[in-house]
Amino acid sequence: MNLIELYLEEIRRQLPSRNRDDILKEIQSTLMDTIEDRNPNPGAEPDTETVKAVLKEFGSPRKVASQYGAKDYLVGPRMFPIYLRVLRIVLIVVAAFNAVGLIVAIVSNTGFSTSFFEAILEVVGGLFSSLFTAFGVVTLSFLGIERAIPDNMKTIIDEKWQPEDLLKEEDQDKVKIFDLAIEITGSLIFITLINFFLDRVGIYYLADGHWVSAPILTDAFLRYVPWITAYNIIDIALDLYLLRLGAWNKIASVIKVLNNAFKIAVTYAIIVGPAVISVDPAIWRETGLSSATSATQFTQIGNTGLDILLGLSIFGLVVDTIKRIYQRFIKGNSAGITIEG
């Protein structure tokens, strides 16, 4: 792709989806007319220097895109496309979980009784409630993200922008806003879940036409909630810091490594500590689930499965930590060493 195509594509990525194609055509038309007017050889292909000069005059793609965004957004034009992508992902996941509940409600009833319709309505009501909550959490996340990047920093970035930047390979240290937005939103949802809706984590079954939840997490898990909340808050703070900074530096890397160590310690404590999953035999019988598996067996399977997942999590954290230490503190320092002959 040439500079003009790269420039227009970058603008397109940052435009709100509404009227995006029409806006891009308008920008392209204005841009091409300007280049043609500045072309020292009318009718011929414009030279690279002329194209660069016009693109520099137009300004960074973010600056151009922001001129076509509504000013009353809770989430500004620069972040709005990313906000929509994250929102779609979260809403699809939430809807999928509720769809499972709807399927269970249907297959658990053989006839069309009043209790059957009540169960269906309860699931549908829960779906709308869950979607509304998810929408609120994602929007809250992006309100913080939008304000984590100060306007003066955006201005500085625009002023330093050069057309040659479009041709540069992606900087490995440069942060990806979409990835950070997913992390922040996921951390906020997880913090909300374990602090306010922990009783919702359990086995769900129909009783007298209504959904009943039986918590499966023991009191032993409650002791870890403050620590889990703490390292998720650190993750959110680090992500907001990276959004302001725009790229990883040594301070951010040190914080990430230390927080990884913190996560490993908490995760290991959960694995070696008392069991955090337990199913009441009476509740297990009420669910009408497989009689071939007892509540005790299900509890053992649940705890073993959780330990495996936590073990894999520790492995991933260790790999990530070693990778960051090597790239930032070993490889980075070695790159600056020269050997004199």
The reply to whether 134 and 102 lie within a common domain is yes
Contact indicator for 282, 203 with CB cutoff of 8 Å? no
The reply to whether 126 and 201 lie within a common domain is yes
89 domain residue, yes or no = yes
The reply to whether 28 and 166 lie within a common domain is no
pLDDT at 144: 76
pLDDT at 111: 45
Domain of residue 49, residue span: 1-69
How confident is the model over 101-132, as pLDDT tens digits? 666 555 555 444 555 566 566 666 666 777 78
Contact indicator for 79, 146 with CB cutoff of 8 Å? yes
The reply to whether 114 and 216 lie within a common domain is yes
Phi first, then psi: what are they for 163, rounded to 5°?
A: -55, -30
The reply to whether 162 and 269 lie within a common domain is yes
Greater pLDDT, 321 or 337? 321
Contact indicator for 251, 272 with CB cutoff of 8 Å? no
Against a cut of 0.75, is the pTM above it?
no
The reply to whether 182 and 299 lie within a common domain is yes
Number of domains in the chain: 2
322 domain residue, yes or no = yes
Buried/exposed code over 218-229 (b: 16+ C-beta within 10 A; e: otherwise): eeebeebeebbe
341 domain residue, yes or no = no
The reply to whether 80 and 7 lie within a common domain is no
Q: Which of 21-35, 38-52, 216-230, 283-297 is predicted least confidently?
A: 283-297
The reply to whether 158 and 294 lie within a common domain is yes
Q: Which of 245, 239, 235 is nearest to 171 (CA)?
A: 245
Residue 16 has pLDDT above 50, yes or no: yes
> Between the ranges 42-46, 204-208, 246-250, 312-316, where is the mean pLDDT highest?
312-316
340 domain residue, yes or no = no
pLDDT at 157: 46
Angle at 20 between CA 96 and CA 3, to 5 degrees: 115
Q: Which of 15, 36, 69 is the last residue of a domain?
A: 69
The reply to whether 211 and 329 lie within a common domain is yes
Q: Which of 235, 173, 162, 166 is nearest to 13 (CA)?
A: 166
HSE at residue 38, side-chain half, CA atoms within 13 A, is 17
Contact indicator for 154, 59 with CB cutoff of 8 Å? no
221 domain residue, yes or no = yes
The reply to whether 64 and 78 lie within a common domain is no
* CA pseudo-torsion sign 26, 29, 33, 34: positive
Q: Which of 42, 69, 96 is the last residue of a domain?
A: 69
Q: Which of 12, 36, 69 is the last residue of a domain?
A: 69
Q: Which of 226, 192, 225, 198 is nearest to 214 (CA)?
A: 198
The reply to whether 230 and 263 lie within a common domain is yes
The reply to whether 83 and 108 lie within a common domain is yes
Mean per-residue pLDDT, 313-330? 89
What is the overall mean pLDDT for the chain? 77
Integer Cα distance of 179 and 174 in angstroms: 12
% the chain with pLDDT above 90: 21
325 domain residue, yes or no = yes
End-to-end CA distance of the chain: 43
